[in-house]
Amino acid sequence: MPTLTASHFMLDLPTLFAVTFFVTVVGGLLLLFTFLQNRNTPALAFWGTGYLVGATGAALLGGAGAGIPNAWSVCAANALVCGAYAFMWSGARSFEGRRVSIGLLLAGPAIWIVAFQFDGFAQSMTARIGLVSAISATYALLSACELWYARDRDLISRWPTLLLVIGHAGFLLARLAFAPTLAASAMSGHTQSTAVTVIAFEALFAAFCLPFLRVAMSKERAEFEQRKAALTDSLTGVANRRAFFDHGNPLLEGAIAERRPVALLLFDLDRFKEINDSAGHQAGDRVLQAFCDLVGASIRPGDLFGRLGGEEFAYLLVDGSMAQALHAAERLRRDFAAISFPHLVVNPTVSVGVAMASEAGRSLSTLLALADRALYRAKADGRNRVAPAPLVLVEAKGDIVRRHDRAAVTPAPIAG
């Protein structure tokens, strides 16, 4: 039986190199093609360009730079590899909506070019491998930081991408320790140790997986933004009617199940049609935005605020008694009345109806109906005021529910 030696396990580096080059080019083209389909994500263009720049540098290192003096071929090739990782980092910043720094984008290639001007460094393959690995690892770690400090952490594909980028950065740093062995392998054309084999295969794995993960991130982001747009009022940026009911019903049911008090504040801007007719719809839009900014600044975690339509808004306040809800409504009414709108003859005001879930039953539609009754009373009493819904006692036994209006104990409206 023939004896197996270490040479049988040696990989042909030029072949592995060619496969990695092909995969890198395909990955770059995939990213650029996806960018052409979704130009709202410029990060895809950065990433795709980075892959193609890196492939060009790798081609020069592999001997594709025939006709170019060898020293300058090596210099340009490694500068392009450093630039490729710089583009990857720039793509990560762009994906998170942050400004791309041209200075830092060029810093890595510039450091490499300056170092190559020293003869001792240029003639040492070990030193060259160490520096390009350190520069590439730095950009990879910066990319990982961008992914970690993300603006939306709900993207599922972000986390495998982050782990792969961190792992790749670790392998790039490992090249520093194995730089002499890597240099010997590059000169012989065969892997000189198991570590070199693992490093080579990791580079191929990262080149294959990262483009697909980045495309997945961009598509997941686009789908997330579409879902968000479908549930957001385009003018004010708050939840629209659909979103308010989608999130409000489970929020209300959960609070009632846990015996936590929930109040609903129903707002309606007074004489809003007159504002639109006299000052124009742009002035009316500014009034709506100002009101949403005011309420949005006071919303607590766990509460829900949305625009039901036109000039009508609803605020679901969790863990608040009727007294607390009336206080919050009165404060918002007063603060809104104090806002100055220079182009309007009369400052807008708001009327508010308040109802308690513990007194109204278990459905959001019932709670809204009670708050609407209170709002109607606030309007009828002169507008610019807060009115609570009549107290309703709920007694449930089986399928029998009895409600008793207690008008005699209904608090008087809070005058504005």
**Does 367 reside within a domain?**
yes
Q: Residues 290, 338: contact at Cβ < 8 Å?
A: no
The answer on 249 and 213 residing in a single domain is no
The whole-number average pLDDT for the span 292-301 is 93
- Specify the length of the chain in residues: 416
3-state secondary structure of 396: strand
Q: Which of 376, 299, 369 is nearest to 331 (CA)?
A: 299
Same domain, 215 and 335: no
- Strand (E) positions, 270-385? 304-309, 312-318, 350-356
For residues 138 and 204, membership in a common domain is answered with yes
Per-residue pLDDT, averaged over 21-49, amounts to 94
Residue 265's pLDDT band (cuts 50, 70, 90): very high
Q: Are residues 201 and 55 in the same domain?
A: yes
Q: Return the closest-CA partner of residue 131 out of 144, 117, 145, 142.
A: 117
Strand order in the sheet with 386-388: 304-309, 312-318, 262-269, 350-356, 386-388
Same domain, 183 and 291: no
Cα separation of 389 and 360, whole Å? 9
The answer on 387 and 247 residing in a single domain is yes
Residues 122 and 193 both lie in one domain: yes
Same domain, 249 and 221: no
* Residue 415 included in any domain: no
Mean pLDDT, rounded, for 256-282: 91
Q: Which residue among 208, 230, 252 closes a domain?
A: 230
Which of 230, 259, 294 is at the close of a domain? Answer: 230
Q: How far apart are CA 27 and CA 352, in angstroms?
A: 57
Residue-range definition of the domain harbouring residue 332: 241-409
pLDDT(5) > 70? no
Alpha carbons 113 and 362: distance in angstroms, whole number: 70
Under the banding of pLDDT at 50, 70 and 90, the label for residue 3 is: very low
Mean pLDDT, range 220-241, rounded to an integer: 90
Do residues 153 and 209 both lie within one domain? yes
Top pLDDT among 9 and 96 is at 96
Within-domain flag for 1: no
* CATH code (residue 257): 3.30.70.270
Residues 23, 150 within the same domain: yes
| Domain assignment of residue 414, yes or no | no
Report the Cα 136 to chain-centroid distance in Å. 26
Tens digit of each residue's pLDDT (9 = 90 or more) over 106-145? 999 999 999 999 989 988 999 999 999 999 999 999 999 9
Cα 280 to chain center, whole Å? 36
Residues 146 and 20 in one domain: yes
Residues 6+ apart with CB under 8 A from 391: 359, 405, 406, 409, 410
Q: Are strands 386-388 and 350-356 parallel, antiparallel or unpaired?
A: parallel
Q: What is the pTM of this model?
A: 0.72
Domain-located, residue 134: yes
Last residue of a domain, which of 168, 199, 230?
230
- Range among 13-22, 286-295, 384-393 with highest mean pLDDT value: 286-295
52 lies in some domain? yes
Q: According to the model, what pLDDT value does residue 414 have?
A: 40
Question: Domain tally for the chain?
Answer: 2
Residue 13 has pLDDT above 80, yes or no: no
Q: How far apart (Å, rounded) are the C-alpha atoms in residues 239 and 232?
A: 5
Would you say residue 111 lies in a domain?
yes
- Which residues does 277 contact at the CB level (< 8 Å), separation at least 6? none
88 in a structural domain = yes
Q: Say if residue 195 is in the same domain as residue 287.
A: no
What's the pLDDT score for residue 391?
56
pLDDT at 102: 93
